[in-house]
Amino acid sequence: MNDDSIPLDLPVLQAAAAGLGPAVLHTPLLRNDALSAQLGASVLLKLENLQRTGSFKIRGATHKVRRLLEQGAAPHGVIAASAGNHAQGVARAAALAGLRAVVVMPQGASLPKVEACKALGAEVVLAGDTLEDAVGEAHRLAAQQALAYIHPYDDWDVIAGQASCGLEIVADCPGLTTLVVPLGGGGLLAGVALAVKSSLPRVRIVGVQTEAVAPFRHFLHDGRLEPVARDAHTIADGIRVKRPGELTRRVIACHVDEIVTVDDNAIAEAIVTLLERTRTIGEGAGVVGLAALMSRRVLLAPDEVAVVIVSGGNIDMTLVGRSIDYGLASSGRLTSVAVTVQDAPGRLAALLRIVAAHGMNVRHVEHRRGELHVPVGMTEVLLQIETRDFAHQRELLAHFARQGLAARSLLGSG
C-alpha cells in the first residue's frame, strides 16, 4: 500500500540523514547472545539510549532546526512542548544553531529532565497538569513571541530526521527480517518504517504501545483511534500520547505491519533485562519493544533476524530502584512472604535458616505484633526475599506448609 501524499522518499531521507552531521551519533546495533538464545532467534538492540541527550529525539529536532534555518523561519527562536526527551532534543539542536529555545513542560515533569533542558540553554516553562495542557501553552507563547513551534512527531521534517535511525539499521543489518519499534505519537515508527521499507520492503515492522495508553490498538484493522482516559498511567511516560499525529497515522497505515501492546509488568522486566544484559539503562518507553519480545507479543521464527529499537534511557533516577524491584517481582526474582510463628526466642533464626537452606537471600525483615489478624502470643514475620523464579517461591511456601507454619505470599506467584 502506498500514499502519494507522503513527501518523503528515500533520497529525501538520505539527504536529511547526511545533514545531521556530528550533532547526532550513529548509535550501536549489537547482537545480544543471551536474548537471542532466550527468544530463539537472532536479536539485535539498536541502542538509542546511548544517543546524545539520551534518546532518538535529537535526530528529528536537529533536522527540523536545520530546515527552519534554511527557510529563515525561526528569527526569534523555537518552542516545543514535551515531558522531557523532545524538549532536550530541541534544546540541544537550538543551542548548536545559536537559537533561543523555550520548552513547555507539564508541572509534574521530572526535575532531572527540567534541569537537563536548562543545562542545554533552554528556557523552561511549566504549565498545566498534562502534556496536552503544555502543548496549548506552547502554541500560545509561540504566537505571542513569534517563535517557531516544533512538533514532537507530526511534522514531515521531524519524521525525516527520525528516519536516520532506520537508515543506520539498514546499513548495519541488511539481513533484517523484523523491526520492533516503540510507538507513542508515531514519529519514530513512521520515520524508520519509511526508511526501512524503502530499502527492505519485506521487513515486518511492529509498533509497540503500552497497554494503558494505546490509541493505535485497532488502528491497522479499522483505521480508528481508541480513546484514552485523561488519567491513564503507565511507567512508559515517554509514549503516553493520547492524540497521535495525522501525518504519522498516514505513514503507519501504509508501512507498518503490526501494532501490539505491553503492560507495565512486562516493561519493568524489560528495564531489568536490558540493564543486566547490556549494562545500559532504558526508560519505560524506551524498552517497550524488548518487552514485547520477552512477553511473546511479537513471535519470531528460528531463522529470523530481529532488531529492537531501545529508543531512550532518560529514566528518572528516583524511579530506577522501584522499577528494578517491580521488574524483579514480576519475573519471580523478588517476593514478600508473611509467616506467623510463636513470639518466642529463636523462631526468627529458625525461619532464616529455612530460607538460607533453600538458597535464597533475605533483603528485609519486619515483625507485626498486636494486630487483629495476628493471634495473641504469635507474631507475623514479613520477609522480603530474593529468589530464582516463581517455582523457587512455591517451593519455600510448600516447605513452610509441611512445617505447619501459616505462610502466604504478599506478591502472588506465577
Q: How many CB atoms lie within 10 A of CB 35?
A: 22
pLDDT recorded at residue 2: 59
Domain holding 338, by residue range, is: 332-409
Q: What is the dihedral of CA 168, 280, 207, 255, to 10 degrees?
A: 0
Mean pLDDT of all residues belonging to the chain: 93
Q: Domain boundary residue among 312, 328, 344?
A: 328
Q: Are residues 254 and 318 in the same domain?
A: yes
Amino acid sitting at position 185? G
Which pLDDT band holds residue 151 (cuts at 50, 70, 90)?
very high
Q: Are residues 48 and 74 in the same domain?
A: no
% of the chain at pLDDT higher than 90:
79
Does residue 282 sit within a domain? yes
The per-residue pLDDT for range 340-393, each reduced to its tens digit, is: 999 899 989 999 999 999 999 999 999 888 677 888 888 999 999 999 999 999
Q: Are residues 243 and 320 in the same domain?
A: yes
Cβ–Cβ under 8 Å, residues 201 and 330? no
Does residue 355 sit within a domain? yes
| CA atoms of 284 and 312, how far apart (whole Å) | 8
Q: Let me know the angle formed at the C-alpha of 267 by 87 and 299, rounded to the nearest 5 degrees.
A: 115
CATH of the domain at 112: 3.40.50.1100
Does residue 394 sit within a domain? yes
CATH of the domain at 347: 3.30.70.260
Q: Are residues 358 and 376 in the same domain?
A: yes
Which pLDDT band holds residue 290 (cuts at 50, 70, 90)?
very high
Which pLDDT band holds residue 178 (cuts at 50, 70, 90)?
very high
Mean of pLDDT values over 1-10 = 81
Length of the chain: 414
Q: Domain boundary residue among 309, 328, 347?
A: 328
Query: Is the pLDDT at 250 greater than 90, yes or no?
Result: yes
Query: Is the pLDDT at 149 greater than 70, yes or no?
Result: yes
pLDDT recorded at residue 205: 98
The per-residue pLDDT for range 391-409, each reduced to its tens digit, is: 999 999 999 999 999 899 9
The per-residue pLDDT for range 186-205, each reduced to its tens digit, is: 999 999 999 999 999 999 99
| CA atoms of 53 and 65, how far apart (whole Å) | 16
Count up the domains in the chain and report the number: 3
pLDDT recorded at residue 153: 95
Mean of pLDDT values over 287-313 = 97
Does residue 5 sit within a domain? no
Range of 262-266, 307-311, 353-357 with top mean pLDDT:
307-311
Cβ–Cβ under 8 Å, residues 288 and 208? yes
The per-residue pLDDT for range 73-87, each reduced to its tens digit, is: 999 999 999 978 999
Query: Considering the entire predicted model, what is its pTM?
Result: 0.88
pLDDT recorded at residue 413: 52
Q: Torsions phi, psi of 119, nearest 5?
A: -65, -25
Q: Are residues 187 and 229 in the same domain?
A: yes
pLDDT recorded at residue 161: 98
Q: Domain boundary residue among 286, 303, 328?
A: 328
Q: Are residues 36 and 173 in the same domain?
A: yes
pLDDT recorded at residue 390: 93
Does residue 160 sit within a domain? no
Does residue 156 sit within a domain? no
Q: Are residues 102 and 207 in the same domain?
A: no
Mean of pLDDT values over 106-128 = 91
pLDDT recorded at residue 412: 61
pLDDT recorded at residue 219: 96
231: Cβ–Cβ under 8 A, 6 or more apart, which residues?
Answer: none
pLDDT recorded at residue 210: 97
Q: Are residues 173 and 277 in the same domain?
A: yes
Does residue 155 sit within a domain? no
Mean of pLDDT values over 4-14 = 93
Radius of gyration of the chain from its Cα atoms, rounded to whole angstroms: 24
Does residue 414 sit within a domain? no
Q: Which residues does residue 98 pair with via DSSP β-bridges, in sequence order? A: none
Q: Are residues 228 and 356 in the same domain?
A: no
Q: Are residues 42 and 176 in the same domain?
A: yes
Q: Are residues 172 and 137 in the same domain?
A: no
pLDDT recorded at residue 354: 93
Q: Are residues 220 and 179 in the same domain?
A: yes
